[in-house]
Structure 1
Amino acid sequence: MRLWSYNNAVLAACTLAFFATMAARLAISPVVPTISSEFGVSNGAIGAALTGMWLAYALSQFPSGLLGDRIGERAVIMIAIVGTAVMSVLLALSPGYALFFTGAIALGIMAGLHYSVATSLLTRTFRKTGMAIGIHSAGAPLAGIVTPIAVGSIGAILGWRYAVAFGAFVAVPTAIFFYALVRPTPPSRPDTAITDRLKTGPIFKLLARPPILITGLLALVGAFVWQATASFLPTFLVEYHSYSEPQAGILFSVYFVVQGIAQPGIGRLSDWVGRYPAAILATLVGVVSYALFVWASSAILLTMATMMAGVAMSWGAALLPKFMDHLSAEERGAGFGLVRTSYMVLGATGSVATGMIADFFGWGAAFLLLAVLLAGMSAVMMLALRYVSSISARAFPE
């Protein structure tokens, strides 16, 4: 790819947009104690608002695809970025918990409009989609590196309202940049009413296609492990390995750094060697990583485990293009949004399930379960590759 081509400009704009929508969501967590203190509610109540936000984010993936097909990807991404900025400001101005809770859910809806539509746009723009989607996905871990540090500093100096408004501070220039750089995109189905595409028959038929169903189940398991890691890796390091919170925070940042670097690499590898082989590599690295988390004790080995976990959680850069490989041009917007909503909503249970297992059986058992799940993903993909090879051998005998 040429460095300064229009295609690369679109990729840069989409990646920055993903960074902005993720930063706005991550800006709340570092100042939860201050927010709960001012509103006079428990941390659990603020946590409920965050759960609602992430659930709304997952649920809006499918409608975003429908909207993109009707009015074009550029318009939907602009709505997502501008809506993220507006909701960040409203959250920062919330006079009480009820409006804060509502605003958090609205922020999740607005931010959720971006990813599926941007992926559809990149698939339309690039021939080799793996690397493009991998670079685009790196916007999220980059936000995970920058946002906690920035928001923590802003909150300590200016208070939580300015910290939450960090989302708008990032989103406003991103919206201007995106609008100036990305040309209007023609909708793929401008004359089809959105309500006509909400019939359950075609929806279940799409989800039941073997390549979509198998990849969707794999993505569900991967999302489960990702959610569990993002929710509990620092807590695991503190409670299981007796790390201090600053030490655990440093390793958590390392996890995001490696994930941001690995995603484009895994995506590009999937363009070269195939989606499943690249995803198998990532998940096998994860099996070793999560086993090391439990059985290793030295700082060097735990750092290695953290870095390997960052590679493992880059599985999406290989599997998400797999969905696009099996969707027609007309299906990609709504179809990808549908499968993303399906696996993300179910994968979000990773936080609850892992926390409960840790409560009943300990953190070692919880993280070993994550290693087993990744091993299961690897095994299923190996079996799928073997099945495809046997079919090919019968169809084209030497």
Structure 2
Amino acid sequence: MKGLRSLSASYETRMLAALALGWATLQCGRFLLPPLLPLITEALSFSSAGIGLALTLFGLVYALTQYPSGRYSDALTRSTVILPGFVVLLAGFVVLGFAVSQTVFVTAMVVLGVGKGLYASPSRAFLGDLFSARRGRALGIYSAGTDVGGLIGAGIAVLVLSTTVWRVAFVPVVAVLATVTALFFVWNRQSYELSSVRLSPDDTVGRIAESRRQRETLVAFSVFYFFVGGLTNFFPSLLVARGFSETTAGASFALLFGVGAFTKPVAGEVSDRFPRLLVGAIGLVTAIVGLSTVLVAPTLGVVAVGTVLTAVGYKTQFPIADTLVMDAASDGEMGGDLGASRAVFLTANALGPGAVGVIAAVTDFGTAFRVLVASLLVSIVLLGRQYLRDED
């Protein structure tokens, strides 16, 4: 990878720590939103469909930024894209903290979508460069930042729910993100380069969808990301609709992340040792069993069991999806291929909250989540069929 100098183990570890902490912090801010949605909806006079569509807009902007950010990180350096990503994220969270109207809130969502898009693919590709022999493990640790951040975010949200002043929740996010930005700038050994870059989306699409196997992988994980978009944005709302308190729903939401923080590194390690497709398919089956349990659970204890199974199942997929794309890409095109693939995944992810919000508005959250459960069957069939072909 151009711009990388000779690397020591301590440098690799520091950069993994910095990038994972950056991801954890931005995800903390992102996942502060679901538990706070009832307060935000009331304060800004959003409908359930309106707030769902605002979150969908965030997801679409995030998705559309993936390919150009990945391609630029291939042609220039990863750091040239990652550092501006940090700056834009800081601006987005500041705007969100001052959201006093629907327009300001939507603007914040757009800015955050751009910042997250600039950060996500180049940072993963950076780690793919550093840990080429153990990508599953490195990306498992990195992606566990989502769960560490989500767990902290849920905890902050529980405290904020008792005060109703939801905007102050984003103050620690801005402070920590600013610190991580400074650490990345100081520790980074990669150069920063500025020059014109030619985007070649047709070539990239041709590569990532060249074979039947690649096309099925894209579809399988796109459906999975659709599921995740609906689940993570409205899981607390589902539990509140089932009669549980907002505090209990927030704690159950935190449980998803607590389990995921341990599951992702383990899943990444396991996928380095065993067939990634098999590990992924087993995880999806576990997620279906878990969420189905939550939907029929008569008590909080059974909800907790279902939540744990759901988390183990769906959190397993994240390091696997990214690593499968990286394994299939050449070194000079890994960022662009990963960015384009993630753009497809995240476009589907962005549709999830909009679909759940609209279905819930027309029927109820139980029906919306049963649709999510059914959608995972498509992913299981596709990944399972690929694994069986490999075994033949």
Per the TM superposition, whether the score is higher than 0.5 is yes
> Corresponding residue for 2:152?
146
Corresponding position: 1:167 with 2:173: yes
State the SS of the aligned residue for 2:329: coil
Cα deviations by residue, 1:160-196 (Å, 9 ceiling, x for unpaired): 5443343321211011122222321587xx87x43x3
Offset at residue 56 of structure 1 (A): 1.4
Measure, in 2, the Cα distance between the counterparts of 1:228 and 1:298: 23
Matches within 5 A, 1:211-250: 211-240=213-242, 242-250=243-251
Offset at residue 96 of structure 1 (A): 5.6
Offset at residue 49 of structure 1 (A): 4.2
Change (3 A) 1:166 1:98: same
Cα deviations by residue, 1:317-365 (Å, 9 ceiling, x for unpaired): 2122001110111111111111101121123222232344445565444
Corresponding position: 1:6 with 2:11: yes
Corresponding position: 1:74 with 2:79: yes
Q: Which amino acid aligns with 2:170?
A: V
Matches within 5 A, 1:341-380: 341-359=343-361, 362-380=364-382
Corresponding position: 1:265 with 2:266: yes
Measure, in 1, the Cα distance between the counterparts of 2:244 and 2:36: 22
Corresponding position: 1:386 with 2:391: no
Cα deviations by residue, 1:278-321 (Å, 9 ceiling, x for unpaired): 11121121121122123332433221110011111211221220
In 2, are the aligned partners of 1:141 and 1:260 still within 8 Å (CA)?
Answer: yes
In 2, are the aligned partners of 1:15 and 1:135 still within 8 Å (CA)?
Answer: yes
Offset at residue 64 of structure 1 (A): 1.0
Matches within 5 A, 1:44-55: 48-55=53-60
Measure, in 2, the Cα distance between the counterparts of 1:93 and 1:66: 33
Measure, in 1, the Cα distance between the counterparts of 2:176 and 2:38: 23
1:64 pairs with one of 69, 76, 81: 69
Offset at residue 110 of structure 1 (A): 1.1
In 2, are the aligned partners of 1:290 and 1:370 still within 8 Å (CA)?
Answer: no
Offset at residue 384 of structure 1 (A): 0.9
Change (3 A) 1:61 1:224: same
Change (3 A) 1:300 1:324: same
Measure, in 1, the Cα distance between the counterparts of 2:146 and 2:111: 19
> Corresponding residue for 2:255?
254
Corresponding position: 1:294 with 2:295: yes
Offset at residue 95 of structure 1 (A): 7.0
Offset at residue 266 of structure 1 (A): 0.9
Change (3 A) 1:155 1:307: closer
State the SS of the aligned residue for 1:113: helix
> Corresponding residue for 1:105?
110
Q: Which amino acid aligns with 1:246?
A: T
Q: TM (normalized to structure 1)?
A: 0.85
> Corresponding residue for 2:189?
183
In 2, are the aligned partners of 1:116 and 1:333 still within 8 Å (CA)?
Answer: yes
Change (3 A) 1:173 1:150: same
Measure, in 1, the Cα distance between the counterparts of 2:289 and 2:51: 35
> Corresponding residue for 1:395?
none
Can you give the 5+ residue segments of structure 2 that lack an aligned partner in the other structure?
1-7
1:330 pairs with one of 326, 329, 332: 332
State the SS of the aligned residue for 2:384: helix
The answer to which structure, 1 or 2, has the higher relative contact order (CA under 8 A, 6+ apart) is 2
CA RMSD of aligned residues (A): 2.8
Measure, in 2, the Cα distance between the counterparts of 1:19 and 1:113: 15
Aligned residues between the structures: 381
Q: Which amino acid aligns with 2:285?
A: L
Can you give the 5+ residue segments of structure 1 that lack an aligned partner in the other structure?
391-398
> Corresponding residue for 1:125?
130
Measure, in 2, the Cα distance between the counterparts of 1:99 and 1:355: 21
Q: TM (normalized to structure 2)?
A: 0.87
> Corresponding residue for 2:3?
none
Q: Which amino acid aligns with 1:6?
A: Y
Measure, in 2, the Cα distance between the counterparts of 1:165 and 1:296: 36
Offset at residue 93 of structure 1 (A): 4.6
Q: Which amino acid aligns with 1:202?
A: D
Q: Which amino acid aligns with 1:294?
A: L
